[in-house]
Amino acid sequence: MTEQLTKDQRLIKQYEHYMVHIRNFSSDTVSSYLRDLNQFSTFLSSSGGGDLLTVSSRDVRLYLAECYDQGLKRKTMARKASSLRHFYRFLIMEGKLSINPLEMIEVPIREKHLPEFFYEEEMRQLLDGLEDRTPLDLRNRAIMELLYATGMRIFEVEHLTLRQIDRANQMILVHGKGNKDRLVPFNTHTQQALTAYLDEGRPSLMTQADEPHDFVFVNHRGEQLTTNGFRYILNDILKRSKLGGTIYPHKMRHSFATHLINRGADLRTVQELLGHRSLEATQIYTHIEQDTLKQAIDQFLPLQDRPVFDVKRKDD
């Protein structure tokens, strides 16, 4: 039993090195994958199913069945299966296995929800309601304009440095998922907001910093702004706007993509701007467009209050 666990942990350790140093996965992704792998390894050892190298498709099905019996949501089960699938692809790449035991496994379908987004007038109200009185106001405006105009992920904005911004050409070199870089342009509103913040707001905030650094967005102590800090700022802006509803960084990204699609931008362009690896991830915004069109029909087409014509069958 101990040898099996030791062998499993050795494989998991090798995979962790691959995720961190080769693929540059985020710390959250690495933690999630490792947790899923360790749970699967524990299941195998406790059920007599062997180890990670001798696992069969039947073992995987039994594991997923146990997850189902525990009441796990389909989204969680799908993530666990995805973690295992990626791990075994790594083992095949390393020459330790020739067949992925998950290739023939039917992963539980995740419930697909259309992402939330702000309508154009809602976004206008949010942006128009921002103030410019203090260094923190200038920072908040720059954050909002940047999130909306570029569709950047929050971790991309959190780790954004001064050297990545080309103000003259209105371009940002974005360090995205999997260490994939992309160039994203930004509009004049964002340029003006960034200029005011970087020339006036940030220098004032940095006087409180213990040591200099290049991170663009900082808190009142001149320290790098965290994800929780961004969330607090967005919630405060929404509260002041009196719009209601919810706000979170990815909702700004969804709004960016949705507005582009609704205004006629092609999917390939939006895919490139968002940094999506596949077009499939971008296509969900076409569903939002269809829903928006249907809503427009229901809201603006006249004569909607007429009685619905009821076709009577001859034999009625």
Nearest to 123 by CA among 226, 8, 34, 253: 253
d(CA 95, CA 89): 10
Q: Can you spell out the DSSP letters for 74-102? A: HHHHHHHHHHHHHHHHHHHHTTS-SS-TT
- Under a CB-based contact definition with an 8 Å cutoff, are residues 94 and 22 in contact? no
DSSP-based three-state secondary structure for 287 = helix
Report the DSSP beta bridge partners of residue 183: 173
Structural tokens at position 46 = 């406790």
Structural tokens at position 143 = 């954050």
d(CA 246, CA 132): 23
Count of beta carbons in the 10 Å neighbourhood of residue 150: 22
257-to-101, 115, 282 alpha-carbon distances in Å: 37, 11, 8
Q: Phi/psi at 276 (nearest 5 deg)?
A: -75, 140
Catalytic residues: 153, 177, 250, 253, 276, 285
Per the rule left: phi > 0, alpha: psi between -120 and 50, beta: everything else, 128 is: alpha
Residue appearing with tokens 């899923």? 36
C-alpha angle with apex 290: 295 to 245, nearest 5 degrees? 55
